[in-house]
Structure 1
């Protein structure tokens, strides 16, 4: 293995048995890496859509309504973020509000829902493994593989980047 950027043959890729040595094998490997990079971006989109789905589903469950109602009651009927509610409750001095401080603090973390949190963990583990595989591929210093990854991630972002964008990409209202 060369420790510099190169377009060589016979680099090991992830496994001892995956060592493309012909031009056709390298081309096939680059196509596989390109497709895998697109898959990596699709996992990110899947995770974002599932997060949005689970958040919406939690709000529509009985526990979600209880959480929102408790937070709304603490803020005089307006639903706001939990951090703001806790901050406002902490600024009050009555004993009744002191009881609500612990309730608001406990409810600042969403409840554990196995049907949401276990799949979230599985998707995250697969996404992390995918990222490590791409990182190990880059560490071969084979320029053809690196170009395949960059192109695959770019195409994957074009295909899946607009699906359920995170809160940082939404314009402010």
Structure 2
């Protein structure tokens, strides 16, 4: 049975009216994977109605998926650098006459207060980037939930390309702060 958009009869409402929009696209949401090129992409104003627009939307979604992976890497890198700045570890060589040999002692800076850890530029930047990451991840999820095979493929390939570009640099392979997968 062929389920393509071109061979299906136009759906009609109970009153016999056509259920397609003025651009010939179906007005309802298809809750199964399909390959049509009529799709709303996140916003009502962003609607694809032909193959060229769908290809453009796929390119944008691909880039967004890759940038999402880059954003995860950037947040981890910034957090790592901020934590290194907090660790002021000095090595002091003790005099050899103290216990018969030279030893290294570690001196740690006193603990910072909670307010000084929270109210600094690095934490505000991390908070903003976290909010941006959550927003982008939910946008990608909503794009995937259109069930349009082309858009889903763009999300997957973009995330894969982004991981290929940024993933090898990451210090942690398992991200406990991951929201979508």
**TM over 0.5, yes or no?**
yes
Q: Which has the higher contact order (CA 8 A, sep 6+)?
A: 1
Q: In the alignment, which residue of structure 2 is the partner of 1:125?
A: 131
Q: In the alignment, which residue of structure 2 is the partner of 1:165?
A: 171
Tell whether 2:63 aligns with 1:35.
yes
Q: Which one has a larger percent strand, Structure 1 or Structure 2? A: 2
Q: In the alignment, which residue of structure 1 is the partner of 2:36?
A: 8
Aligned counterparts of 1:34 and 1:154: Cα–Cα separation in 2: 9
Q: In the alignment, which residue of structure 2 is the partner of 1:18?
A: 46
What's the offset of the Cα at 1:163? Answer: 2.2
Aligned counterparts of 2:40 and 2:52: Cα–Cα separation in 1: 16
What's the offset of the Cα at 1:21? Answer: 0.8
Aligned CA distance change for structure 1 residues 154 and 167 (closer, same or farther; 3 Å): closer
What's the offset of the Cα at 1:107? Answer: 8.0
> What is the DSSP-based 3-state SS (H/G/I as helix, E as strand, rest coil) of the residue aligned with 2:46?
coil
Answer yes or no: is the 8 Å Cα contact 1:30–1:144 preserved in 2. yes
What's the offset of the Cα at 1:78? Answer: 7.1
1:96-133 Cα offsets, whole Å, 9 max, x none, are xxxxxxx99x989x933512211110010000000010
TM-score, length of structure 2 as denominator length:
0.64
Aligned counterparts of 2:121 and 2:161: Cα–Cα separation in 1: 32
Answer yes or no: is the 8 Å Cα contact 1:52–1:164 preserved in 2. no
Larger radius of gyration: 2
Q: In the alignment, which residue of structure 1 is the partner of 2:8?
A: none
TM-score, length of structure 1 as denominator length:
0.67
What's the offset of the Cα at 1:28? Answer: 0.7
Answer yes or no: is the 8 Å Cα contact 1:49–1:163 preserved in 2. no
Q: Which one has a larger percent helix, Structure 1 or Structure 2? A: 1
Q: In the alignment, which residue of structure 2 is the partner of 1:48?
A: 76
> How many residues are treated as equivalent by the alignment?
132
